[in-house]
Structure 1
Amino acid sequence: MDTVKKTFFILLIMILGGAFSVAGKGADSVSCAGQPEMTVKMDLKECVDYAMEHSYKMMIQQLANDDRRLDERDAYLSFLPSISASIGGQASFGRNIDPETNIYTTTTSFSNSYGVSGGMYVFNGFKTVNNYKIAKTARALGYEETQQLKDEIALAVIQAYYNVLYNEKMLALTRSQLEASQANLELVTREYELGRKSLADKSDIEAEVAEYSFNLIRQRNALESSYITLRESMQYPYSEPLAIDTETEDDASLKLIADKESIVSTAKDRLPAARIAEYNIRTAKASFNSAKWSLLPSISLSGGYSTGYNALAGAGSANSPFWTQMKNLQGQYVGLSISIPVFNGLYQQSEIGRKRNAYRKAKWEYESKMLEIESEVTRAIADMEGAAEEWLSAQKRLDAREISHRQSEKRFANGMISAIELQTNTNLLLEAQATLLNALYQYNIKSMVVKYYSGIPYADQLNQE
């Protein structure tokens, strides 16, 4: 009997131990946002790299760049003459002209012909040259558009990543506040049972626990929403788990020395948006020049070679040998043509006017873009400096709140303040912690934007870290 009891007791311990082990693993495998912890956590650089590789916008842009490469190749090859070859065969029945005597006869004949021809523009108002310039500029424009798209994707991922990180940290803070509140509730409950605390004190703590429980749920929802935004910016499939690395130092190295004039000059020279505006001017100018030169005559040169073979069917037909006819029927030609535009309803004059307006528009858009870049740089520097000041102020505020909260907990334990006053102080501490986190992450983002305007793309900044 004792052996049976011992065996049963050992089995019970093994079952309970296994259950607790599974439960523990299950709790560790799921994050607060419903994301499996077993998933490899991605840091900021990995998230940006993933977005670059899987962005559908990038794939579409690459196809557009390939089209522009083909356009440039076609424009370059248009300097060469066009050459074509032809071959034909014909069978005739009934009354036909004898190719040997040039007299009508009734017979069956077969003939075939061979020819090669070519042509090229000697002068077409530099249209070919301008078309090549436009195609070459368009290809360079595509590169800048690709870089601009990369920067936009990287910035979107960076902002979404820091939003997730902020909500992760806020969820942890909210959970810790809830745990502290639950501990206070247990303490006050024991004090109430001993008659040292009133029912009102106990009810206030219960209300505080309920409030923090609600805040925890709301923070979980905010975290889940921020993960959705991050997935969207990364083009990350919803069928796969996603988790980020939250083991980051919540600290900032403040570097507020920013030479505005130097940054503005660099941004105007290197930013993809500035280069795009510059290339648009080049394209518009080439189109305008092409329209102006279209008023001049165009000169083209052409030439060709042809030969053939003819044979009559039927008895008694004497046909010359194939190669003899091929030699005797050879023919060549060379032609030079001049096309002079005289009148076509003033279409060319109207086209010149439109291209002139497009050229002027491109120049004004360039000046507008330069002013916009200067404004963006000025705003980015001001935002970075403001975020740094907010972070320093928030740090001091948090230090003061932590001291105040420790004193409030002691005073509450000694019955010197009510539960409502403690809750108010706790809420102020949580708000100070949230403000510090927000200021820190905002400074990190703003400083990266300033570095971007200084000529360092976002992806390169992450590679330097």
Structure 2
Amino acid sequence: MRYLLFVLLLSILTDPSAAQEKWNLKRCVDYAIANNISVKQADVQARFDKLTHDQSVLALYPRINSQHSGGFQFGRSIDPTSNQFTTNQILFANHGLDVGLDLFNWFSKKNTVKANDYLAQASVAKLEKAKNDIALNVANAYLAALLNKEQINVSQVQVDQSREQFDIIKKQVAAGALPELNQAESETQYITDSANLITAQTNYTLSLLQLKALLNLEADAPFDIEAPPVESIPVETLAELDPAIVYQSALENLPQQKINNLTLKATEKNVAVAKAALYPSISLFGGLSSRYSNAQRTIPNSFQTIVVPVGNVDVDGVSYPVTSQITQPLGYDRNTYFRQLSNNFSQNVGLGLNIPIFNGGSARINWQKARLQVENQQLLQEQDTRTLKQDIYQSYTNAVAALQKYNASVIAVASAQKAYDFGKKRFDVGLLQPIDLILNQNNLFRAKINKLSAQYDFVFKMKLLEFYKGLGLKL
């Protein structure tokens, strides 16, 4: 008995709710959205898809690339400036600039830009869905923590009543008015109620741990929540949450429907992209290039013409000399690096035509796959729409049942309270056995717990309908 009281006192003194800063639902939701890992991953994916879209836009512009190389040639090789064979060691350098532009490719790039734009928008909607999902999960965990906290209060009242009854019966047993069996029964009830209180406190601590996990808080971080009375939590009436109206609102407001619509548009554009690969494409290209070689260190700057003998010819017994005029360099200039680049400078421009003939059927197969992706996305969209409608109507039915269950629990509490009050009066005047009073007390305790559970269950189901309607989460 003393050990149990010590444990109970210790659990109360170490209650994490003591002297901690209180978090309301809005603060929990805002913190979760800013710090939850799933939300951060969705944000990273949204930024990634935005970059993919930006890249496809830049692909519409001309491609410009510059190439530069340099090195040594050894052994028998071709002089890159004179195209003559040489065995000398040559230091060379090549420079080039290439430009390319797709003139017409059956709007493949434009459709790619549009498809990536839809996918980027879908990723933004997925981010919003991730935020909504974590907000709904936080609200659910928050309400569960509130329920557990209320159960602590109810259990504490039960413990106080059991202790009071135990003290009274103990005095009566000491006075000889009641047998010791009644004291044992009362003590057993007191111990049971104390254990229930410890269980309620443990459940509350566990619910706070679950909530901190959703918030991405450390498990040992100080944390507690505000506990507004459940009666003060605003909820719409069932008449305002008609499932047909909620369903139409959900189709317009929920991110999942936007995701499906945008993804379907993207897959349709991808069909056009894949089909463009079946047809010829026209491109424009051009380039600049030049080169340098140290094999030509000098270049003639002046020339002279001389006559040189090449032999004799005999005509009618008379020998005549034969000569030839040749031009040879008279002076040289240094063939510098930049002079060679200027002298070797070349340009090119042209049109390119690419005609797909046979590539293992890859282009046609990809086109067919893209069409199947559209069909698959249409089926997914239809499935999600049907599931959404089913969930909303099921949530409405559950909310109606939860309200009926709560109304019944209110009546049950009133009846149990009346039975306990009458029993307590009879017990006080010695007309009721302690075991019967304990039974009435237990019935009242279970009735109160059932009422709390039914009340919070009703509130959550109504909040779920409000969420589908697009009203957000407010406690």
Cα displacement (A) at 1:221: 2.8
Q: How far is the alpha carbon of 1:74 from its aligned partner? A: 0.5
Q: Give the % identical residues.
A: 23
Correspondence for 2:362 = 347
Structure 1's 377 and 99: CA in aligned 2 closer, same or farther, altered over 3 A?
closer
Distance change >3 Å, CA 188–CA 93, structure 1 → 2? closer
* SS of aligned partner of 1:423: helix
Alignment of 1:36-435 (within 5 A): 37-90=18-71, 110-251=91-232, 255-257=237-239, 258-311=241-294, 312-313=296-297, 318-320=333-335, 325-435=340-450
Report the CA distance between 1:109 and its aligned residue: 5.5
1:415 partner SS: coil
Distance 2:364 2:82 in 1: 56
Higher relative strand content: 2
C-alpha distance after superposition, 1:247-306 (max 9, x if no partner): 535455562222332221111122111112212212221222222222111222111122
- Alignment root-mean-square deviation, CA: 2.7
Match of 1:452 in 2: 467
Q: TM-score, normalised by structure 1?
A: 0.85
Compare 232-241 and 177-186 and name the one that shifted more: 232-241
Distance in 2, matches of 1:383 and 1:340, equals 62
Residue-by-residue CA offset, 1:429-452 (whole Å, 9 max, x unaligned): 111211221122122212221111
Query: How far is the alpha carbon of 1:91 from its aligned partner?
Result: 5.1
3-state SS of the aligned residue for 1:141?
A: helix
Structure 2 distance, partners of 1:100, 1:225, is 81
Change (3 A) 1:294 1:200: same
Deviation at 1:61, TM superposition (A): 1.9
Higher Cα Rg: structure 1 or 2? 2
Residue type of the partner of 1:194?
A
Letter of the 2:202 counterpart: N
TM-score in terms of structure 2 length: 0.83
CA spacing shift, 1:73–1:53, aligned 2, 3 Å: same
Q: Distance in 1 between matches of 2:52 and 2:375?
A: 25
Higher alpha-carbon deviation: 314-323 or 380-389: 314-323
How far, CA to CA, are the matches of 1:274 and 1:392 in structure 2?
36
Moved more, 247-256 or 402-411: 247-256
**TM-superposed deviation, 1:379:** 1.6
Match of 1:23 in 2: none
SS at match of 1:222: helix
Aligned partners of 1:33 and 1:223 also within 8 Å: no
Deviation at 1:112, TM superposition (A): 3.4
C-alpha displacement at 1:321, in angstroms? Answer: 5.8
Change in CA separation of 1:106 and 1:246 when aligned onto 2, cut-off 3 Å: closer
Q: Which runs of 5+ in 2 are unaligned?
A: 1-8, 300-330
The 3-state SS of whatever aligns with 1:364 is helix
Residue type at the aligned position of 1:283: A
May I ask how many residue pairs the two structures share in their alignment? 433
> What secondary structure is seen at the aligned counterpart in 1 of 2:218?
coil
